[in-house]
């Protein structure tokens, strides 16, 4: 601590600043007292250990030494901020699930692409080509299944009891439904 500069008279605000500084520094203790503990902690942090694990292991390996995990955290944040990136995360990094622009596989199992549909279906000349779609909500287990015949204006809507059906389970079977040619 630098010695006060004497100018020949008393300055109360300067004396108060020095007294406050001495008071602050008198309450501050070094977090990790010895170099051996600092080296032990730093090595384990860089290896990916948590401060709780280091504090517990130090008491077992070196019975004369003890330190709390909170003191390790305080030391890292105040005196060794380069170790912050080496601290163990409390939670794993979350990855976003569900639909994304770049997902590796289809969200619909055994899906047949619409581009692979026969050319005759695109012309809509024959009756009997059905298209099915499912409308579902994330909060409910039920889903609505809509089936449309491509040539005629026939549309059938049904409710499924669960969203996870494979596509083979239908609310109705278009093969067993009689279909007449609408005039």
Q: What is the pLDDT of residue 172?
A: 57
Q: Tell me whether residue 7 is in a domain.
A: no
Q: Which residue has the tokens 């520094």?
A: 25
Report the pLDDT value the prediction gives residue 16, as an integer from 0 to 100.
94
Confidence of residue 30 (pLDDT cuts 50, 70, 90): confident
- Tell me the per-residue pLDDT of 146-181, one tens digit each, with 9 for 90 and over: 888 888 888 888 887 765 555 445 555 555 555 555
Predicted local distance difference test score (pLDDT) of residue 183: 46
Indicate whether 48 belongs to any domain.
Answer: yes
Question: In this predicted structure, what is the pLDDT of residue 168?
Answer: 46
d(CA 14, CA 19): 9
Rounded Cα distance, 165 and 15, in Å: 81
Give the chain's domain count. 2
Domain end: 86, 102, 129, which one?
Answer: 86
pLDDT digits (tens, 9 = 90+) for 10-22: 889 989 999 999 8
Secondary structure tally for the chain: helices H, strands E: 5, 3
User: Under a CB-based contact definition with an 8 Å cutoff, are residues 1 and 21 in contact?
Assistant: yes
Summarised one tens digit per residue, pLDDT across range 71-122 is 999 899 888 889 888 887 766 666 666 555 665 666 667 777 778 877 887 7
pLDDT value of position 11: 86
pLDDT one-digit tens code per residue, 123-153: 888 888 888 888 777 777 778 888 888 888 8
- Please give the pLDDT value at position 32: 80
pLDDT digits 0-9 by tens, 49-76: 999 999 999 888 888 888 889 999 989 9
Q: Is residue 126 part of a domain?
A: yes
* Domain residue limits at 74: 12-86
Is 104 contained in some domain?
no
In a domain, 4, yes or no: no
The answer as to whether 23 is a domain residue is yes
123 lies in some domain: yes
Establish if 177 belongs to a structural domain.
Answer: no
Entry pTM: 0.40
d(CA 161, CA 71): 56
């Amino acid at each position: 601590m630098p010695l006060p500069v004497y100018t020949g008279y008393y300055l109360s605000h300067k004396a108060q600043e020095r007294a406050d500084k001495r008071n602050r520094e008198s309450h501050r203790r070094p977090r990790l007292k010895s170099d051996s503990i600092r080296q032990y902690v730093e090595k384990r942090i860089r290896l990916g250990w948590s401060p709780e694990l280091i504090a517990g292991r130090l008491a077992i390996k070196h019975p004369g030494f003890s330190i709390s995990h909170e003191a390790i955290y305080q030391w890292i944040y105040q005196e060794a901020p380069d170790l912050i990136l080496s601290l163990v995360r409390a939670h794993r990094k979350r990855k976003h699930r569900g639909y994304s622009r770049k997902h590796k596989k289809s969200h619909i199992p055994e899906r047949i692409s619409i581009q692979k549909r026969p050319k005759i279906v695109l012309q809509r000349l024959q009756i009997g080509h059905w298209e099915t779609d499912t409308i579902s909500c994330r909060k409910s287990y039920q889903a609505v299944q809509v089936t449309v015949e491509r040539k005629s204006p026939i549309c059938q809507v049904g409710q499924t009891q669960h969203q996870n059906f494979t596509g083979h389970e239908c609310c109705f079977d278009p093969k067993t439904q009689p279909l007449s040619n609408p005039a």
